[in-house]
Amino acid sequence: MSLAKITQIKALALAVPGDDIDTDRIIPARFLRCVTFDGLGDHAFRDERTGPDGKDRPHPMNTPQAKRAGILVVGFNFGCGSSREHAPQSLWRFGFKALVGGSFAEIFFGNSTALGVPCLTLSKDHLAELSALVQQKPELEVTVDVQNLKVSAGDKVWPASIPASARDGLVNGKWDPIADLLDGAAAVEQTASKLAYVVGK
Amino acid sequence: MAKTLFQKVWEAHTVRQLPNGQTQLFIGTHLIHEVTSPQAFGMLRDLGLKVKYPQRTFATVDHIVPTNELKEPYSDPIAQEMIEALRKNTKDFGIRFFDTNTGNQGIVHMVGPEQGITQPGTTIACGDSHTATHGAFGAIAFGIGTTQVRDVLATQTLALSPLKVRRIEVNGVLAPGVYAKDVILHIIRKLGVNGGIGYAYEYAGTTFENFSLEERMTVCNMSIEGGARCGYVNPDQKTFDYIKGKPYAPKAADWDAAVARWKSFASDAGCQYDDVVKFNAADIRPTVTWGITPGQAVFIDEKMPDLNTLNAADRQTAEDAYKHMKLAPGSAIKGTKVDVAFLGSCTNGRISDLREVAKYLRGRKVSSSVKAIVVPGSQLTAIQAVHEGLDKVFIEAGFEWRGAGCSMCLAMNPDKLVGDQLCASSSNRNFKGRQGSQTGRTVLMSPLMVAAAAITGQVTDAREVFKV
């Protein structure tokens, strides 16, 4: 299986500020009533964007730059709560190819990486700078450099972090682990044979 | 060298190191349900792969099951489509399915323990973040995404990096009217909703030792609400007694060896932890949430925080929370009007929860302004409750008695809040919109506190209402 090498994403960015944004807010549970991920992009942040009266609320996702943005700038503990992969799927299908934040909930991070969507973290101060800049200058191109662990916009460059295993997977085009996992079949059987509860005892 | 349970289980299940430095970890037990598995089976078919160990995956249906409609086809065609997709997938791939007609269906985190599938020293994964529940048995159990469900189906393994271990010690005896739910809400309040990122939580100390397995499940269940992907309690005699005789428990000839093996997984005396935190049980009082994250909580007799007392980041989330909850900073949560009372979920939908509430409910009536529902988490729990006559106690008091499922914990079924209704809920998440209405409001609390709210129509102190 050959996958794209995800080394660098250059795109316009959109800031959705706030900490502890959970996956129910990213994609409400009623949109999980499905057997495929098709169409989820239309519903990213649905209840944040649309009021109970069905009208648009003031929300970054309702601005003209949302549709053109490829990078989502978020706060801390983004993607907490439910393990639903529907959350990163909806963001990816909406058009976000990379996320930059203060921290990410672990399951969300893993789900995003497995989709080939890098989630990089910046320090609190740097994130505030990036978020403010993106909100002031929506036409500014932002670069998420996974290879060199940097995020840059205009003349600003900030050091960024991502766990080494995720970085290696992304830049080497091996972010979907299935091929490696299948390669280990013989070793898997050996491990299984040593586990009493697996062999039926 | 002295090791933690986490390290021992990790080592026993390590297949090899992957090229990116992660561990290929064997997942001995895989649990699936109808919401996060259909796409995984789709990926499997697209790749032309089979299920590697079909006998190590167990399925049930819980999220979308209507709890007030026991016959199929369900009036919701999407729910019907999802349950049928799971029937087809489990049949095509030879997976055991605890379907609605088996008497063993229920919330996936209740079915595993009830069947004896959940065992100490094992690895358990499920496409559901509350998989940490199974850690109550000394398993390393965690939630995964759908692509990872595919990985487990195809290879029985996952690509993972090890976690650090934080020992959370709670010692002493809880005061009457204070429950396991209050303990975990207190821990999350103190350590934060993101405090557990990168950690497994080991719950230890005399309070947890004295807890039943069901109480331990309530605590481990909400580890994820504290940011920890998994949480566990070291296995002991109570654990073994709970498992003994269950359908998938080791049989008589294998029992003693299994117990010896399980004991060997417990953390060694003198092992090194990455962090240790201690609490006194006596300091914990009945706890309720006031905001939109499970960490935004106070004791029932405390005032909600004044915005000025919070740091900048917490203040922003708190402002958002107060606005959504329509509550006033610095005021008491006690006395807040309640519209709905929900007793159920994988956190507090077990027989011991129903028994404890029923003990106090006889002779009391649900307020006429409250819609109260009680949803046993599993069919076995419902059958046992009916056998003990608990259903009658709830119905007599004015609760609706429902069938097994996730119900109003996440509202992927007909049980939903309407408008800005406020729900006193024994579930695990008070996120905006979580209970099915985007303006709906959730206050998390223990089952007995839910009953007190149902009776008085207010968020109130169950110790006073029931003279506990």
What is the 3-state secondary structure of B211-230?
Answer: CCHHHHHHHHHHHHHHCCCE
CA–CA distance, B218 with B107 (Å, rounded to integer): 14
Closest-CA distance, B454 to chain A, in angstroms, reads 26
Residues B156 and B292 in one domain: no
CB-side neighbour CA atoms (13 Å) of B229: 30
Tell me if A114 and B148 make a contact (CB, 8 A cut-off): yes
CA–CA distance, A158 with A130 (Å, rounded to integer): 9
Tell me if A20 and B293 make a contact (CB, 8 A cut-off): yes
**Partners of B58 in the β-ladder:** B31, B96
CATH number for the domain spanning B23: value is: 3.30.499.10
Cβ neighbour number for residue B270 with a 10 Å cutoff: 8
User: What pLDDT score does A1 carry?
Assistant: 58
C-alpha distances (whole Å) from A152 to each of A10, A128, A155 are 9, 13, 7
Tell me if A181 and B159 make a contact (CB, 8 A cut-off): yes
B323 burial level (CB within 10 Å; 0-12, 13-18, 19+): exposed
Please state the domain count of chain A.
1
B165: enclosing H helix or E strand: strand B164-171
What residue numbers bound the domain in which B373 lies?
287-465
Instruction: Tell me the residue length of chain B.
Output: 468
Pick from B127, B160, B193: which residue ends a domain?
Answer: B160
Tokens representing residue B348 in the block: 């507090």
Interface contact B18, partner A, CB < 8 A: yes
Each residue's pLDDT, cut to its tens digit, for chain B (468 residues) gives 999 999 999 999 999 999 999 999 999 999 999 999 999 999 999 999 999 999 999 999 999 999 999 899 999 999 999 999 999 999 999 999 999 999 999 999 999 999 999 999 999 999 999 999 999 999 999 999 999 999 999 999 999 999 999 999 999 999 999 999 999 999 999 999 999 999 999 999 999 999 999 999 999 999 999 999 999 999 999 999 999 999 999 999 999 999 999 999 999 999 999 999 999 999 999 999 999 999 999 999 999 999 999 998 899 999 999 999 999 999 999 999 999 999 999 999 999 999 999 999 999 999 999 999 999 999 999 999 999 999 999 999 999 999 999 999 998 999 999 999 999 999 999 999 999 999 999 999 999 999 999 999 999 999 999 999
| Residue at B312 is within a domain | yes
**Coil, helix or strand at residue A144:** strand
User: What pLDDT score does A2 carry?
Assistant: 78
B interface test, pick of A47, A178, A189 with most B CB neighbours within 10 Å: A178
Report which of B171, B183, B166 is spatially closest to residue B221, judged by C-alpha positions. B183
Q: Is the pTM of this model over 0.95?
A: yes
Task: Report yes or no: B218 and B113 within 8 Å, Cβ to Cβ.
Answer: no
DSSP string for A78-133: BTBS---THHHHHHHHHT--EEEES-B-HHHHHHHHHTT--EEE--HHHHHHHHHH
Strand bridging mode B340-343 / B297-299: unpaired
| Residue at A106 is within a domain | yes
| Residue at B85 is within a domain | yes
Each residue's pLDDT, cut to its tens digit, for chain A (201 residues) gives 579 999 999 999 999 999 999 999 999 999 999 889 999 999 999 999 999 999 999 999 999 999 999 999 999 999 999 999 999 999 999 999 999 999 999 999 999 999 999 999 999 999 999 999 999 999 999 999 999 999 999 999 999 999 999 999 999 999 999 999 999 999 999 999 999 999 988
Which residue in chain A is spatially nearest to B158 when comparing CA positions? A181
C-alpha distances (whole Å) from B222 to each of A105, A180, B143, B188, B323 are 15, 32, 12, 9, 25
DSSP string for B12-58: HTEEEE-TTS-EEEE-SEEEE-TTTSHHHHHHHHHHT---S-GGGEE
CA–CA distance, B417 with B432 (Å, rounded to integer): 12
**Coil, helix or strand at residue B106:** strand
Task: Report yes or no: B463 and B199 within 8 Å, Cβ to Cβ.
Answer: no
Report which of B423, B385, B452 is spatially closest to residue B179, judged by C-alpha positions. B452
| Residue at A2 is within a domain | no
| Residue at A191 is within a domain | no
CA–CA distance, B288 with B332 (Å, rounded to integer): 11
**What residues have CB less than 8 Å from B253, skipping those under 6 apart?**
none
| Residue at A151 is within a domain | yes
Report which of A135, A141, A104, A138 is spatially closest to residue A119, judged by C-alpha positions. A104
Task: Report yes or no: A48 and A14 within 8 Å, Cβ to Cβ.
Answer: no
Dmax of chain A from CA atoms? 63
Pick from B135, B160, B185: which residue ends a domain?
Answer: B160
| Residue at A53 is within a domain | yes
Tokens representing residue B265 in the block: 């997984």
Give the pLDDT confidence of A136-171 residue by residue, as tens digits: 999 999 999 999 999 999 999 999 999 999 999 999
To 5 degrees, how large is the angle CA A80–CA A61–CA A158? 65
CA–CA distance, B450 with B181 (Å, rounded to integer): 12
Report which of A35, A87, A90, A95 is spatially closest to residue A67, judged by C-alpha positions. A95
Tell me if A35 and B39 make a contact (CB, 8 A cut-off): yes
User: What pLDDT score does A126 carry?
Assistant: 98
Task: Report yes or no: B22 and B163 within 8 Å, Cβ to Cβ.
Answer: no
Q: Is the ipTM of this complex over 0.95?
A: yes
**What residues have CB less than 8 Å from A78, skipping those under 6 apart?**
A19, A21, A99, A101, A102, A103, A104, A105, A108, A119
Task: Report yes or no: B24 and B17 within 8 Å, Cβ to Cβ.
Answer: yes
Interface contact B26, partner A, CB < 8 A: yes
Pick from B160, B184, B204: which residue ends a domain?
Answer: B160
Tell me if B316 and A169 make a contact (CB, 8 A cut-off): no
Cβ neighbour number for residue A37 with a 10 Å cutoff: 19
- Residue B169 Rama label (left phi>0; alpha psi -120 to 50; beta): beta
Q: Give the distance, in angstroms, between the CA of residue A143 and the centroid of all CA atoms in the same chain.
A: 15
Q: Give the distance, in angstroms, between the CA of residue A118 and the centroid of all CA atoms in the same chain.
A: 6
**Coil, helix or strand at residue B61:** coil
Please state the domain count of chain B.
2
Which residue in chain B is spatially nearest to A175 when comparing CA positions? B20
| Residue at A197 is within a domain | no
Residues of chain B neighbouring A196 (CB-CB closer than 8 A): 254, 257-258, 261
C-alpha distances (whole Å) from A79 to each of A105, A162, B414 are 5, 16, 26
| Residue at A83 is within a domain | yes
What residue numbers bound the domain in which A103 lies?
8-173
Closest-CA distance, B235 to chain A, in angstroms, reads 16
| Residue at A185 is within a domain | no
- Residue A151 Rama label (left phi>0; alpha psi -120 to 50; beta): beta
User: What pLDDT score does B70 carry?
Assistant: 84
**Coil, helix or strand at residue A146:** coil
Closest-CA distance, B194 to chain A, in angstroms, reads 6
CA–CA distance, B316 with B307 (Å, rounded to integer): 9
CATH number for the domain spanning A106: value is: 3.20.19.10
